[in-house]
Structure 1
Amino acid sequence: MPRRPIVGGNWKCNPVEVSKLDGLVANINACDTTDCDVYVCPSNLHVGIVYTKFKEGVWCTPQNCNFKGCGAFTGEMAADQMVDMGLKWCLIGHSERRGEFGLPTPPESSALLAAKCEYLYSKGMKCVYAIGEPLSIREKGIEAVLEYCVQQLKPFLPLMDAEKLVIAYEPVWSIGTGVTASPEQAQETHAALRKWIAENKDPATAEAIRIQYGGSATAANAPQLSACPDVDGFLVGGASLKSEFAEIVAAIANAKKA
């Protein structure tokens, strides 16, 4: 079975003004979800404002969760709360929570993220798991990139279920920089990850699991990236705050239908 494309919009810590939320929601709701799954990750403060405003077929997806549930966990969000709100997916592991925030905050380990994923599963939720490498690793070549990303995937091997997990590959060096991996780089990396999953999990999972590209995807570069056979979608940053997000969704929907 062909993999159904999936595109996510990560608003990160945007916007400043609550008054802008309706316009951002309208951009997402303009997407045609007939041939592509779509989710959007509002900032933590804004999830509760907008989660009922997205049209059917668009999943409101929090940007993080804990692995203990509700209780005396100040500053955390629990999957239990998400389930009660009718939410189905959660994003974890973004590079900005792995020590790429530019501040001396403790990075989240892949083992911690696996614990979060397991808790999400226990509550009936699905998970988008972000992985990726910094520029210093990319400059060493594909073997170094694969080895770096594999360390992030190993704790997830027991959790690697194509029905519950989407992998978002993010070349960290391209996030927010305007620099994008070439289609050849994206395809090579995605194919290498899929091959590793086939060898270390099983071929059926490797064939079925969806791997998104998450480095500065735009309406301009989406058609070329969408043509890559192992690119199953995008985790979109800055462009998800613009009307062009619908064009990105259309680009991969059309490419994968062809």
Structure 2
Amino acid sequence: MPRQFFVGGNFKMNGVADSIKSIVSNINKAQRDPSTQVVIAPPAIYLTLTRELADPSVGVAAQNVFDRPNGAFTGELSVEQLKDAKIDWTIVGHSERRVLLREDDDFVARKTKAAIDGGLSVILCIGESLEEREANKTIDVVTRQLGAVAKLLNEQEWSKVVIAYEPIWAIGTGKVATTAQAQEVHAAIRKWLGETISPAVAENTRIIYGGSVSDGNCRELSKEKDVDGFLVGGASLKPAFVDIINSRL
């Protein structure tokens, strides 16, 4: 079976109730490629609003989740709370959290495991810095990040993971990996999955690209063999997000 194309929209710390309503309404009304899975991630305070407004065919994700059950963890959200709010997805390991909040590989792996154990699906973000790219360490970095997760998940649990390759140097900078660069890294990730987990996991796991994705570059990127979709930042706040969803039409 071919892997289902996946487009995620990460709103980050953007939007208020009125703008969230407008974004969701635009997605609901749009003629969307029915073969593409769409998941949007609003700020935590608007998760329930988004879930109430969004068409049932549109998934809703938290931008983060904690690795422990309910308890004395001020400011965090538990898997149980997300599930109770009808949220079925979470983003984990975004570079902004790895870099700004110093979340390490093991913490990201624990959050991934906790989310899956609690019934959530995970958009697992990985990616290298510009310094690491220029030192030819890209594959070492992304496989190290994946390796921490692989220590905690069994083969079946990888079916709940979408891997988002997001080179840090391309996030919000306007710089985009070339189609060849994206394909090269995605192919290396798939090869690693086959050698480390199983050929079935390598074949079935969706590997999506993120990093200044727009309606102007999405179509070329979507043609690459191992690019199974996108995780979109700023462009997910704009009407052009629908063009990215429809990039394969």
Q: TM-score range by the shorter chain?
A: over 0.9
**Equivalent residue number for residue 141 of structure 2:** 148
Q: Residue type of the partner of 2:106?
A: A
Contact 1:31–1:249 (CA under 8 A) maintained in structure 2? no
Is 1:113 aligned to residue 112 of structure 2? no
- Normalised to the residue count of structure 2, the TM-score between the two structures is 0.94
**Equivalent residue number for residue 175 of structure 1:** 171
Q: Distance in 2 between matches of 1:82 and 1:97?
A: 19
Contact 1:63–1:91 (CA under 8 A) maintained in structure 2? yes
Is 1:239 aligned to residue 232 of structure 2? no
**Equivalent residue number for residue 23 of structure 1:** 22
Contact 2:159–2:201 (CA under 8 A) maintained in structure 1? no
* 1:51-71 CA-partner distances (Å, limit 9, x unpaired): 211101111100001111222
SS at match of 2:53: coil
Contact 1:5–1:232 (CA under 8 A) maintained in structure 2? yes
Q: Residue type of the partner of 2:122?
A: C
**Equivalent residue number for residue 160 of structure 2:** 164
Q: Distance in 2 between matches of 1:186 and 1:65?
A: 27
SS at match of 1:212: strand
Cα 1:69–1:124 change in 2 (3 A) is: same
* 1:139-176 CA-partner distances (Å, limit 9, x unpaired): 133xx100011110001114264420000000110100
Matches within 5 A, 1:9-48: 9-15=9-15, 17-29=16-28, 30=30, 32=32, 34-48=34-48
* 1:2-30 CA-partner distances (Å, limit 9, x unpaired): 11010000000002x33212111123322
Q: 1:186 aligns with which of 171, 182, 190?
A: 182
Q: Aligned pairs, how many?
A: 245
Cα 1:67–1:149 change in 2 (3 A) is: same
Segments of 5+ residues of structure 2 without an aligned counterpart are none
* 1:109-145 CA-partner distances (Å, limit 9, x unpaired): 111111111111221111110000011111133xx10
SS at match of 2:182: helix
Q: How far does residue 86 in structure 1 lie from its aligned partner after superposition?
A: 1.6
Q: How far does residue 49 in structure 1 lie from its aligned partner after superposition?
A: 2.5
Is 1:131 aligned to residue 130 of structure 2? no
Q: Distance in 2 between matches of 1:31 and 1:197?
A: 35
Q: Distance in 1 between matches of 2:192 and 2:114?
A: 25
Q: 2:117 aligns with which of 117, 122, 126?
A: 122
What is the percentage of aligned positions where both structures have the same residue?
Answer: 40
Q: Residue type of the partner of 2:116?
A: Y
Segments of 5+ residues of structure 1 without an aligned counterpart are none
Q: Distance in 2 between matches of 1:97 and 1:33?
A: 31
Q: Residue type of the partner of 1:55?
A: D
Q: Distance in 2 between matches of 1:40 and 1:2?
A: 23
Q: Distance in 2 between matches of 1:120 and 1:31?
A: 32
Q: How far does residue 224 in structure 1 lie from its aligned partner after superposition?
A: 0.2
SS at match of 2:26: helix
Matches within 5 A, 1:40-119: 40-99=40-99, 101=100, 105=101, 107-119=102-114
Contact 2:162–2:205 (CA under 8 A) maintained in structure 1? yes
RMSD: 1.3
